[in-house]
Amino acid sequence: MPAKQEPKNREPATILHGVKRTRRSVTLDLQRIRDAGMVVPDGNRSRIKEEYRHVKRPLLLNASGKGAAVRENPNVIMVTSSQPGEGKTFTSINLALSIAAERDRTVLLVDADVLKPTVSKFFGVETGQGLVDFLIDDTLDLADVLVETSVPSLTLLPAGNGHHLSTELLGSESMHALVKEMSTRYSDRIIIMDSPPLLATTEARVLAGLVGQLIMVVEAERTRQSMVKEALALLEPDMTVGFVLNKSRGTLGNDYYGPYYYAYGEAGRE
């Protein structure tokens, strides 16, 4: 089925064609988040919270136009890696939870890794409609595929059901219009987009063309410099790239990935 070509501007609607629609919701399992070594949305201090405060600050400055010069959609941040298993999804979730703690920000966490929707699985929303469904179904309102969470400032957009034209859908005019709408509708919103690894699929390259900022997650003592350079070469030269160096001891949900270092640069630059 071809991707839709008409932009949509319908997220706030709760009644469509006389039918009241109820948005899905999920209660976060705080103990699971805590056991995974993640940023827990509570009032307690922790090392992981402090680390992600350092990670998010330049991103927020850039999004508000007070930091480094970035491209269109500066509040849309893509999180990726060169290869699977480096901790990009862990980073996406932690970054979203950390920014959601800001008093003047809301966060939309988008699971754009439609072939391996780990964000959706972690939050228990892997079934049901999501991003892919919205892009192919003209009858869906954006509100139909969003999932509210027990953290008032955090909303999820799950990957949705798989589709054999996922790359084409993510590169469609509908996806461009959706990203622009998400970026501009609310001035306080930050969109975190968990994407596939750059060297694993073509979807990540397509998504990178839509975002204003990009985080490259690199696993310490595992990821070769040549792989990082190969991944960066796939990006447009004017892309502002942040690097998160992770020290990994396991897989998502079991052990701890900690951000060790963070810096900014441009794709393709030394």
Phi, psi for 159 (deg, rounded to 5): -70, -35
pLDDT digits (tens, 9 = 90+) for 98-156: 999 999 999 999 999 999 999 999 999 988 999 999 999 989 989 999 999 999 999 99
* pLDDT recorded at residue 239: 86
- When mean pLDDT is compared across 3-12, 121-130, 173-182, 219-228, the lowest value belongs to 3-12
**What CA–CA distance (Å, rounded) separates 136 from 174?**
9
Superfamily of domain covering 47-266 = P-loop containing nucleotide triphosphate hydrolases (3.40.50.300)
Q: Which residue has the higher pLDDT, 248 or 115?
A: 115
Give the start-end residues of each E strand in the chain.
15-16, 19-20, 24-26, 76-81, 106-111, 147-149, 154-157, 189-194, 213-219, 240-248, 257-266
**Domain coordinates of the chain in residue numbers?**
47-266
pLDDT digits (tens, 9 = 90+) for 24-73: 999 999 999 999 989 998 878 888 999 999 999 999 999 998 887 678 99
H helix or E strand, kind and range, residue 133: helix 131-136
Number of H helices, E strands in the chain: 10, 11
Looking up tokens 């988040």 gives: 33
pTM of the model: 0.85
The DSSP output letter for 265 is E
pLDDT digits (tens, 9 = 90+) for 197-245: 999 988 899 999 999 999 999 988 788 889 999 999 999 888 889 999 8
Three-state DSSP at 191 gives strand
